[in-house]
Amino acid sequence: MNDVLLSVENLSKGFSSGARQVAALDNVSLTIAPGETLGLVGASGSGKSTLSRILLRLLSADAGSIRFEGVDWLALNGASLRRRRARMQIVFQDPLAVFNPLASVGAVLVDPLRIHGVVAKDRRRDEIVMLLERVGLPADYAGRPVRALSGGQRQRVAIARAIATRPSLLVLDEAVSALDVTVRGRILELLVDLQKEQGIACLFISHDLAVVRAVSHRIAVMDGGRIVETGPAAALVAAPQSDAARALVAAVPRLVTDPC
Amino acid sequence: MSGIFCSLRQLSVTYGRGVAAALDGIDLDIVAGERLAIIGESGSGKSTLARALAGLLPEGARVGGEMLWPGLGHAPRPGRDFGVVFQDPGSSLNPVLTIGEQVAEGARRHLGLSWKQAYVRAEELLGRVRIPQPEKTMRAFPHQLSGGQRQRVAIAAAIAARPALLIADEATSALDVVVQAEIVRLLDGLVREDGMTLLFITHDIALASGFVDRIAVFRNARLVEAGPVRSVLSAPKSDYTAALIASHRDLATPPLIAEVQP
């Protein structure tokens, strides 16, 4: 099928904690179409981040398969894996923890360009300017140390780094959860714009259903390592079928402005 | 009638030389028995306010203005007159003490109980914060509990000596939304039952809007506006408060993407 970018089938992963076996992922299956955003929502410990780590090949799976861009993703190794990694990139929650705090913004962005040979050496400077502009930062930020930026600016750099290798899939693991609400809105808008312009597909992971709802075409709900419900975003939010989805819908804080 | 519990007059806090003030000329009254939300984003000074009230400012911080406690008539004693619940229960609980010891300690020290009596009270408190199997949890260590349960334990420890004021500084921000809703319900219930004053510090104006009486909005070390929750939310005086309200997203907010029509 051409309209599947990523398909995950029966993925399982267990961790052992002393004598106890914990199933972090239990037969998880999902698909993402090119240019689509799949929201993945669930409480702490439901397995969301384990799934993102396996997708990024930061963690191995116990069982199951992943096809990405028509390739058996879990069978890739060495140079072929490194080369293909350009196509799937991640943005984590805490942009201070992912960067070398002493590095400049330019140094952070030049690494993926160099490692993946995205543009010729003499074009890298222009490309960095273009990436910064794309995420709404002035070109002179390339010379600033990452630690001198605000949280929102740092997350913009993290997004610029992720799109530098021209991926077809962006995994956003709680990428806006640590940001102030006013900043969060602008980052969400940036992500939606990028997707519209470049047709990047996204796996948008969060515990906050309201945020997931804002950007996702479809939503999958995780609970205890399983996907308990998947559906179009509007339908799932309007009529959640599983207990986990109902709890997530009920937990979204509502702005109470009228006397009750 | 409820009087003023704590009164801040031109309170300013500066952490170092040549650094902008973390709090700048704050005038604010905390009314006895009220639930007051302090709303602010990063750098607004909301956590500095919590630390100033709790006497937890680092050495070298310069404090100007006044903090008066007419509701107490004396300087507040930490743990006895107020309890504090912090954002990260993983770092506010002692990893090498049992849950029972940590919750009992405040009760023993401030209420003049023996360890044995304090343990009885601690077990009661764990029940009140709805820890399943309190008697078993008394012997557990913090690492054996989930984040939400640890926060329940931290709340139990904070109220162990029956303080008149509970300060919750981003106490639900590290928790997922489902657990966050449970902890807010728990705090709300405890404060009502015990007639405590609650200072609920958060970046989330919607979360606070569901249960507090008054809201004070902070921005860049200053108090932007304060008032009853309904009037601040329905008719904000400052543009900043209006922007905060406008940035709120819930499930009724139109999504940012174009949806495929079925």
CA distance A215 to A187: 11
Percent of chain B with pLDDT over 90: 85
**Burial group, residue A111, by CB count within 10 angstroms (0-12, 13-18, 19+):** middle
Helix (H) or strand (E) holding A134: helix A124-134
Query: What average pLDDT score do residues A218-244 get?
Result: 96
Residue B122 forms contact with A (CB below 8 Å): no
Question: What 8-state DSSP symbol labels residue A86?
Answer: G
Residue B13 in tokens: 């806090």
- Whether B242 has its CB under 8 Å from any CB of chain A: the answer is no
Query: Smallest Cβ distance to A210: which of B146, B180, B249?
Result: B249
Task: Give tens-digit pLDDT for B127-158.
Answer: 999 999 999 999 999 999 988 999 999 999 99
Cα of A129 to nearest chain B Cα, Å: 27
Q: Record the tokens describing residue A74, joined without a space.
A: 């879990």
Q: What is the pLDDT of residue A258?
A: 67
B212 touches chain A (CB under 8 A): no
A85: helix, coil or strand? helix
State the pLDDT at residue A1.
45
pLDDT tens-digit readout, B206-248: 999 999 999 999 999 999 999 999 999 999 999 999 999 999 9
B255 close contact with A: CB closer than 8 A: yes
Q: So what's the pLDDT on residue A179?
A: 87
Average pLDDT, chain A: 93
Q: Are strands A6-17 and A20-32 parallel, antiparallel or unpaired?
A: antiparallel
Q: Which positions in chain A touch B209 (Cβ < 8 Å)?
A: 253-257
B130: alpha, beta or left? (left if phi > 0; alpha if psi -120 to 50): left
Contact B40, B79 (CB under 8 A): no
Quick check: B41 and A217 CB within 8 A? no
ipTM of the complex: 0.84
pLDDT band at B106 (very low <50, low <70, confident <90, very high): very high
Q: Is the pLDDT of residue A15 over 50?
A: yes
Chain B neighbours among A 74-113 (CB < 8 Å)?
Answer: none
Q: How far apart are CA B173 and CA B4, in angstroms?
A: 29
Asked if A26 contacts A80 with a C-beta cutoff of 8 angstroms, the reply is: no
* Closest by CA position to B211, among listed A61, A256, A231: A256
Contact B253 A43 (CB under 8 A): no
Q: Tell me, what DSSP letter sits at residue A153?
A: H
Closest CA to A32 of A234, A165, A166, A170: A170
Query: Which residues on A lie below 8 Å from B179 (Cβ)?
Result: 43-44
For A219-229, the pLDDT digits (tens) are 999 999 999 99
Q: Distance between CA atoms of A207 and A44, rounded to whole angstroms?
A: 7
Q: Which residues between 35 and 74 in chain B have a beta carbon less than 8 angstroms from any beta carbon of chain A?
A: 41-42
DSSP string, A193-248: HHHHHH--EEEEEES-HHHHHHH-SEEEEEETTEEEEEEEHHHHHHS--SHHHHHH
**What is the arithmetic mean of pLDDT over B69-86?**
93
Tell whether A44 lies on the interface with B, counting CB pairs under 8 A. Answer: yes
pLDDT tens digits for A97-137?
Answer: 889 888 999 999 999 999 999 999 999 999 999 999 999 99
Give the pLDDT mean for B76-82: 94
Q: Which residues lie below 8 Å from residue B239, measured CB to CB, with a gap of 6+? A: none
What distance in Å separates residue A161's CA from the closest CA in chain B?
23
Per-residue pLDDT at B20 exceeds 50:
yes
